[in-house]
Amino acid sequence: MAQRVLTGYRPTGKLHLGHLHGNLLRMIELQEQAECFFFIADWHALTTDYQDPSRLRTYTEEMVLDWLAAGLDPQKVALYRQSDLPEVAEFQLYLSMITPLGWLERVPSFKEQQEQLRGREIATHGFLGYPVLQAADILIVRADSVPVGEDQLPHLELTREIVRRFNYLYGETFAEPQSLLSPSPRIPGTDGRKMSKSYGNHISLADPPEEIRRKVLSMVTDPARRTRKDPGDPEKCSVFELHKVYNPDRLEEIAGNCRSAGWGCVECKEVLAERISGSLQSFRKRRRELEEVPGIAWKVLEDGLRRTRPLAKEVLAEVRRRMGVD
């Protein structure tokens, strides 16, 4: 049973369906069951985007508004911004002393991102230390559960290795945090790849209905359906993958209409767009109401910080004591 839960989001702007089904729905559930700390990982964003920080603040604010509109309740969870919690930075320094270089070079995202983000100089100290910073995020509040997507598992494993090493060197101090992998469906973007802002294939939670419709109509489908009369195979179509999430009770009908060419892809997509739009209606309403309240995102972050900081200070004081710098 989860007791203290923590997770962070890099501020990349508005949240999209990939976030929602990836772990946001789970986070909304967890706020009822556990003590939750959810934060904006703006230092992590800087490790790859330090050359253009101009939108960091806007992205942070947008993400917080989306969190609130989606149903995270600042009375129940502490929402804060990483860069407002200097204890994390100092803690990362200590953890970096005990983390062997080889562990960091072995983390898959280190090499992958070097290749994906070509053109950006990210062979930096900061980027190599990305997982150490993440370990500091987690341990600064002694989180025992971390809801993340599968891509984050190597980082979580590294946090556990760091815990073992810390405990071995300085005595039993931290428990090993566990990852909370929610059984989330794959959410394809409009081009069929995993939905991600960096691919530009995303549907944002705040998109107006016309925009959702436009994006769904642009989705790739089974390439065998070249004309309206060609039958299709729903299992080869990313529109159908989204129907599995949004129309689970109509799957047979939808698959049948695809295989018999009873529906054209446009009809099939209209049904999906309608459904996605409808499911986000109250989100859009709450989002608009929140936008009317000046500075609400920053107030919420300030309040979350106030609740997190004493705990962070306590943990850091213990680390300093253990490492002889008290």
State the residue for tokens 């939905």: 195
Cα(190)–Cα(195) distance, rounded to whole angstroms?
8
Q: Which does 287 bind (CB under 5 to 8 A by kind): ligand SF4, ligand TRP, none?
A: none
Using the rule CB under 6 A, give the single segment among 139-147, 257-265, 273-281, 290-298 that binds ligand SF4: 257-265
Joined tokens for residue 222:
């089974």
Q: Give the contact letters, 31-50, x = binds to ligand TRP (CB under 6 A), - = no.
A: ----------x--x------
Spatial strand order in the sheet of 4-9 = 77-81, 35-40, 4-9, 145-147, 178-180
CB of 156 to ligand TRP, least distance (A): 8
| Contact status: 304 vs ligand TRP (CB under 6 A) | no
State yes or no: residue 271 binds ligand SF4 (CB under 6 A). Answer: no
- Sign, CA dihedral 7-127-300-187, equals negative
Does 273 participate in binding ligand SF4 (rule CB under 6 A)? no
**Shortest distance, CB of residue 210 to ligand TRP, whole angstroms?**
30
**Helix segments in the chain, DSSP class H:** 17-19, 25-30, 42-49, 56-70, 86-98, 101-106, 108-116, 125-128, 130-139, 153-170, 209-217, 238-246, 251-259, 265-279, 281-291, 296-322
Q: Which of 42, 87, 137, 207 binds ligand TRP (CB under 6 A)?
A: 137
Task: Indicate which single residue of 10, 81, 197, 202 sits in contact with ligand TRP (rule: CB under 6 A).
Answer: 10
* 206 within 8 A of 14, measured Cβ to Cβ: yes
> What is the Cα–Cα distance from 122 to 48, expressed in whole angstroms?
6
- Partner touching 141 among ligand TRP, ligand SF4, none, CB below 5 to 8 Å by kind: none
Residues that bind ligand SF4 (CB under 6 A): 221-222, 225, 232, 234, 237, 239-240, 258, 263, 265, 268-269
Residues that bind ligand TRP (CB under 6 A): 6-8, 10, 41, 44, 134, 137-138, 146, 148, 152, 155
